[in-house]
Amino acid sequence: MTAFDCIPALKALSEPIRLRIVRLLSKEHLSVNEIAARLKMPQYKVSRHLQILREAGLLEMHSQGKKHLHKVPIKQLARKGSTLDLGCCASRFDKLCR
C-alpha cells in the first residue's frame, strides 16, 4: 500500500466496529454471517462495513462453494497477524482494547 492509499484505509478504520472486524479477519477467514454472530450485530450492518473495508483495500473476498469468505491480505499483516501494516503506519491488535 502506498502513502496515497493510506488515507481511505485510515478513514475506514476510524470506525471502531471496522477495526474489530479487521482484527477478527486478521486471524481467520470468515463469512458475513460468522462475523455478525461473533459481533452480535445484524448481518446487513456487517455487510456494509465489509464493503467499506474492501473499497479501502483492507479486505479481500473469495468464494468457497456458496460461502463468501473475507480476509485481510497477507501482505498487510506482520508479526504473525498481530499487526496491520498500511505502509504509512501500523496498528498492533494485541495493544488494542477489545
Domain positions in the chain are: 3-95
Question: What are the phi and psi torsion angles at 40 (to 5°)?
Answer: 55, 50
Q: Are 86 and 78 in contact (CB under 8 A)?
A: no
| Dist. CA 81–CA 77, nearest whole Å | 5
Locus of grid cell 474489530: 20
- Cell triple for 79: 508479526
Locus of grid cell 458475513: 32
The CATH code belonging to domain 3-95 is 1.10.10.10
pTM: 0.83
Q: pLDDT by residue (tens digit) across 16-51?
A: 999 999 989 988 999 999 999 999 999 999 999 999
